[in-house]
A = this chain, B = another copy of it.
Amino acid sequence: MTTAATALDAVLAQVDAGLDQSLDRLKALLRIKSISTDPAFAAECQRAADWLVADLEGLGFTAAARPTPGHPVVVAHGPQTPGTHVLFYGHYDVQPVDPIELWHSDPFEPVIKDGADGRTIIVGRGTSDDKGQLMTFIEACRAWKAATGALPVRISMMLEGEEESGGKNLPPFMRDNAAELQADIALVCDTDMWDRQTPSITTMLRGLVGEEITISCANKDLHSGMFGNAARNPNQVLAEIIASLRAPDGSVTLPGFYDDVAEVPDAVKKQWQGLGFDQAAFLGEAGLAIPAGEQNRSVLEMVWSRPTCEINGMIGGYTGDGFKTVIPAKASAKISFRLVSGMDPVKIRAAFRQHVQERIPADCSVSFKEHGGSPAITVPSDGLHLRKALTALSDEWNKEAVITGSGGSIPVAGDFKKILGLDTLLIGFAHVDDAIHSPNEKYDLESFHRGIRAWVRVLAAFAE
């Protein structure tokens, strides 16, 4: 056995003994309102980056909040030891908190409380996505340092501040610093476990095309009594466009949308069937019962291997209390497409924009705003690091870790491959009921605690 493996028990004991202090540090980071999409919180994003820099410097890393045209990227390097070199990725920015009235406590004053099914949970914006997850890795490093005086492998980190707002500044940053960011493998902690008992590594991620459209008709708001029928109503135009995006059978109607979409191989489908996914329970957790997507597709296919079109937001006219008989001048919507392997974000965006343009009346207009675009990626589902990580996760949960797909998009995994030539292991400890992007986001205390222990084991395995 190597030194790292010998030390493992001591490091795990250190994690257990220091859990309260780990939680205190997590809470300090959670209190910083680093909402990246809202310019009003730019200083808070800088503060989160600075907090991480200071924390990592305390662990012996050389760290800095590196400027970008947007929010800074935290880059940190541990000592240049021989052997495996990992590049860890997480993001310190969080989603907005609205609708704020649905939160049971201040989103930025984290509370630890009893959750469902006897669980203990940490409630607050970013607990699960992604501050709680990224801190599992940092706390694992701290435990190694405290118990053995050193990190078991060479570690670099890249902690982003724009994951929740398009992240368009990260790829150029990676290109500009490609030499500095070289490593043997990238680690990303921003995904779910398969279920509460089963750890997993995600190897299939969808891409994303985000679009915002604004439809302009009259040159000012009009009185609907004076102009109704005669004046074009942008709410109506927008609704007709949105309605036209999905066919009655649940499929997306954009021409060519499915042209580059491959069927999942039978072998993979068979493996998925073996997962025992309970689609009634999955929808039931959200209070729903009827899958909304393509008929004759399983829910797992819908969320892992089929592309989507979702209306993330829409607004037009008077939406306050009471009533106002107005025909608004404008109406707008935020629309996202999740892409699967083979689909080209550029092509899908163009098809969407053409579809919309064709539906704008001649005396009205539309403007488009891009909110991120990334292709789907498939991580190789074999390799030494993957096998070592699966074993480490299985050891921690005493249950065999599984390889899964994911409905979400983590564009950085594609960029690691494309820009740095790195394979990525997507290892995360979140749960589907964590309510990320929603009010009362939470992270299980067990996710945090076992997450730290799992990283301790993964690093030990990589040191062997």
Q: Are A334 and B323 in contact (CB under 8 A)?
A: yes
A368-399 interface code vs B (CB 8 A; 1 in, 0 out): 00011000000000000000000000000000
Q: Are A313 and B316 in contact (CB under 8 A)?
A: yes
**Minimum C-beta distance from A377 to chain B (A):** 14
Residues of B within 8 A of A192 (CB): 226
A323-354 interface code vs B (CB 8 A; 1 in, 0 out): 11111100111101010000000000000000
* Chain B residue, CB-CB nearest to A317: B313
Q: Are B318 and A312 in contact (CB under 8 A)?
A: yes
Cα of A37 to Cα of B325 in the assembled complex, Å: 12
Stretch at the interface among A55-63, A137-145, A210-218, A412-420: A210-218
Q: Are B246 and A290 in contact (CB under 8 A)?
A: no
Q: Are A220 and B334 in contact (CB under 8 A)?
A: no
Cα of A208 to Cα of B224 in the assembled complex, Å: 11
**Minimum C-beta distance from A316 to chain B (A):** 6
Residues of B within 8 A of A279 (CB): 230
Q: Are A288 and B363 in contact (CB under 8 A)?
A: yes
Interface presence of A200 (CB below 8 A): no
Q: Are A313 and B321 in contact (CB under 8 A)?
A: no
**Minimum C-beta distance from A7 to chain B (A):** 37
**Minimum C-beta distance from A355 to chain B (A):** 14
Interface presence of A361 (CB below 8 A): yes
* Chain B residue, CB-CB nearest to A334: B323
Q: Are A313 and B324 in contact (CB under 8 A)?
A: yes
Q: Are A436 and B223 in contact (CB under 8 A)?
A: yes
Interface presence of A319 (CB below 8 A): yes
Q: Are B239 and A291 in contact (CB under 8 A)?
A: no
Number of interface residues of A (CB under 8 A): 104
Q: Are B236 and A96 in contact (CB under 8 A)?
A: no
* Chain B residue, CB-CB nearest to A220: B438
Q: Are B314 and A323 in contact (CB under 8 A)?
A: no
Interface presence of A451 (CB below 8 A): no
Interface presence of A315 (CB below 8 A): yes
A177-208 interface code vs B (CB 8 A; 1 in, 0 out): 00000000000000010000000000000101
**Minimum C-beta distance from A278 to chain B (A):** 13
Stretch at the interface among A76-84, A263-271, A300-308: A300-308
Q: Are A290 and B39 in contact (CB under 8 A)?
A: no
Interface presence of A132 (CB below 8 A): no
A-B pairs, top 5 by smallest CB distance, nearest first, are: A37-B322, A219-B287, A229-B293, A225-B408, A239-B242
Having A224-B338, A239-B243, A313-B324, one finds 20 other A-B pairs with CB under 8 Å, namely: A37-B323, A38-B321, A39-B321, A96-B324, A102-B220, A217-B288, A220-B438, A222-B286, A226-B408, A230-B291, A231-B292, A235-B313, A288-B363, A312-B326, A314-B316, A317-B334, A319-B334, A323-B372, A324-B437, A325-B336
The 11 sampled A-B contact pairs (Cβ below 8 Å) are A222-B286, A229-B294, A229-B306, A233-B311, A235-B311, A311-B316, A312-B317, A314-B317, A322-B371, A323-B334, A326-B438
